[in-house]
Copies of this chain bind each other. A is one copy, B any other.
Amino acid sequence: MLRLGVDAMGGDYAPEAAVMGAIQALDCVGEDVRIVLFGDKAAIEGILDREGCAHDKFDIVPTTEVIEMGDHPAQAFKQKQNSSIVVGYGYLKAGKIDGFASAGSTGAMMVGAMFVTKAIEGVIRPSISSPIPVVDGRTALMLDVGLNVDCRPDVLQQYGLLGSVYAETVLGIENPRVALLNIGEESTKGNLTSREAYELMKNSSYNFVGNIEGKHVFSGRVADVIVCDGFVGNVLLKAAESFYPIGQALGVGSNPFFDKLNYEFFGGTPVLGVNAPIIIGHGCSSPKAIAAMIKQTESTVRANFTDRLREAFK
């Protein structure tokens, strides 16, 4: 039995969107999966009743507090001991759930990741990554997408390994090609950090294929794992995601590539380098996005990603 923890109070439209998403997820996760909802029990059951969904489809862990987007993450984590996020992390640490997903406060989720589950030994800095679509229909992984905005070169080097293990185990890509996001293909191109990172990555255990320019991030021709600092990764990811609503507004219509730029498609960004599967969803998550986030959590748990990562960093 896989037990996936979901923050029913996380996100701008919680608990409504979170619970609706969990109901949708029932249809796409395996039969051996049990979804554990953390949140306001009465509110959750009210939505389940309205949707005609039996309560026993889920485990519900009642919580009474919510860490709001405006709260100071570290302070709120300490003070709101009965919040859905803090209680969820307690379950994760105790092994009562196998993974935890939330569209709530990214800051509070990261506090939990860093101080409750903690970084895997040997990992200098964990990362928030994002699956991205590439033209031929496959999925690539970009990291970091917003956690570490001033990366040291050795951190970028490690991101290559974090991403490589994720791409191999969770995305199922054999011997994934890892590239460094840069302004040119040549090893001498880039800023101070990227040039130093290139030299370190050249001597890595993973399949480093060199620099990748912006034009090839979504082509899929160069890399399966795109390594960058969290500043450029965040800007690029958000800009790329914006092409979905832009395309919709301009009547581009349905398209297998552009549809996956919709943030709802992957539903969340996996935190890599910590001792448990943790997925963070967009604050604005719709039910569809929540369901995708839960599905992603399932894939990460099922792949034994955390164990594989620990081995890689031994």
Name A's B-contacting residues (CB within 8 A). 135, 146, 149-150, 181-183, 190-192, 194, 213-219, 228-232, 234-243, 246-247, 249-252, 255-258
CB A68 to nearest CB in B, in angstroms, measures 15
Residue of B183, B219, B257 touching A231 (CB-CB under 8 A):
B183
Asked whether, in the complex, the Cβ of A150 is within 8 Å of the Cβ of B191, the reply is: yes
How many angstroms from the CA of A135 to the CA of B244 in the assembled complex? 12
A-B contact pairs, 19 of them (CB 8 A): A135-B246, A146-B183, A150-B191, A181-B235, A183-B231, A183-B234, A190-B231, A213-B235, A214-B237, A214-B238, A214-B239, A217-B239, A217-B242, A231-B232, A232-B232, A239-B240, A243-B243, A247-B252, A251-B255
Asked whether, in the complex, the Cβ of B246 is within 8 Å of the Cβ of A218, the reply is: yes
Asked whether, in the complex, the Cβ of B246 is within 8 Å of the Cβ of A252, the reply is: no
How many angstroms from the CA of A299 to the CA of B231 in the assembled complex? 34
CB A235 to nearest CB in B, in angstroms, measures 4
Q: A150-B191, A150-B192, A218-B243 are in contact. Are A235 and B238 (CB under 8 A)?
A: no
Asked whether, in the complex, the Cβ of A194 is within 8 Å of the Cβ of B135, the reply is: no
Asked whether, in the complex, the Cβ of B242 is within 8 Å of the Cβ of A239, the reply is: no
Asked whether, in the complex, the Cβ of A235 is within 8 Å of the Cβ of B234, the reply is: no
Residue of B149, B236, B255, B256 touching A235 (CB-CB under 8 A):
B236
Q: A213-B235, A231-B194 are in contact. Are A256 and B250 (CB under 8 A)?
A: yes
Residues on B with beta carbons closer than 8 Å to the beta carbon of A229: 191
In the complex, the chain B residue whose C-beta lies closest to that of A212 is B235
Max chain B C-beta neighbours (<10 A), residue from A214, A238, A256: A214
CB A261 to nearest CB in B, in angstroms, measures 9
Asked whether, in the complex, the Cβ of B236 is within 8 Å of the Cβ of A236, the reply is: yes
How many angstroms from the CA of A241 to the CA of B217 in the assembled complex? 11
Residues on B with beta carbons closer than 8 Å to the beta carbon of A230: 183
